[in-house]
Amino acid sequence: MQLNDKIYIAGHRGMVGGAILRCLKQKGFTNIIYKTSTALDLRNQQQVDEFFEEEKPGYVFVAAAKVGGIVANNTYRADFLYDNLMMESNIIHAAHKNNVTKLMFLGSSCIYPKLAPQPLKEEYLLTGLLEATNEPYAIAKIAGIKLCEAYRDQYGCNFISVMPTNLYGIGDNYHPQNSHVLPALIRKVHQAKENNSPKVIVWGTGNPRREFMFADDLADACVYLMENYNEKDFVNIGVGTDISIRELAELIKEIIGYEGTFVFDTTQPDGTPQKLMDVSKLHSLGWQHSTGLKEGIKQAYKDFLKREVVEG
C-alpha cells in the first residue's frame, strides 16, 4: 500500500476498526474513508454497491461485525447470523465488482471446533462441531473466509482472511449483558471497588483458558499482512499464550486495586474449555505482538475510566 492509496475501513467505530484506523494514521496513510452505520447500512446491498461505485477504494479492511459475549450470541442467534452474513457478503461482492486491489476479512477464533486440539492450527477449520452458544456467529465468519477463497478461486481477487484471538483494548464494549469476559470483568471489579462490595460473581468455574490480545497489536498485524501477505489460506493472529478466567480475574483485581473476593457461579456456562491460537505461521511471516497482558489491561482500564466519566 502507498501512503496515498484509498483505504476503506468497514467498522471504523468498533474496537478493531478504530485500532486499524489509529495504526494507519500513525504509519502516515492519508486517504482513509469510512462511514457510520447510520450513513451506510452494510446489510443493504444497494447502499453498499453505491458506496463502492462512488468511492472506488483500493484497499478494504472488513472489521464490521455484530459481536458480543455468550449471552448476546445465545440470545440473538438469528441477528448474529443474518447481520454478519449480509455485511460481509455485500462488502466482498462489491469489492469484486469494483476491482478493489486487496481486501482483508477479519474472522474470529470461534470458527474452530469446540473440542479441537490445542493450540488451534489453521487446518483445524471444519474438522468438528462448533461451540453451541456462538454457532451462528461462527458460521457467519466461516462463510466470510470461504467467500474470500471463492472470489479468489473464481475471479482471481486478492482477498485474504485473518483470524484474531480474543481481543480487548481501547474502545471495548462494557455493556452489562453484551460484553466479552475481559471487559465484563473490568466493569464488575471496578463497580465492586466503587461500591465497597465484598465479592464479585463470575460466571462459570473459572477454569476455561483464554488467549487475549490488545486490539492495537491486532491492528498492527493486520496492516503488516495487508502489505506483506497475498495467499489464499487464512492466518491466525494471536499472542500464543493463554490464561485461565480465574487468573484473569485476579490480574484485573490487582490492576484495579480491588480487595474483595470472587465467587464462581458454576450454574452458568463455561463455553469452550480452551481457545489458544497456534501463531507459528504468523511468526514465520515476520510479525509478533508487543503488548503484554498486564500492560494492555492497564491501558484498557484507563480508557474505561475516561469513557465512564464522559458517558456518566
Catalytic residues: 137
Q: Specify the pairing of strand 212-214 against strand 166-168.
A: parallel
Say how many residues make up the chain: 312
CA distance 89 to 109: 20
CA distance 145 to 147: 5
Instruction: Report yes or no: 56 and 95 within 8 Å, Cβ to Cβ.
Output: no
In three state form, how does the secondary structure of 39-83 look?
Answer: CCCCCCHHHHHHHHHHHCCCEEEECCCCCCCHHHHHHCHHHHHHH
Helix (H) or strand (E) holding 226: helix 215-228
CA dihedral over 265, 268, 272, 276, signed as positive or negative: negative
CA distance 18 to 11: 8
CA distance 174 to 189: 12
Give the cell for residue 98. 469494483
Place of cell 480508557: 303
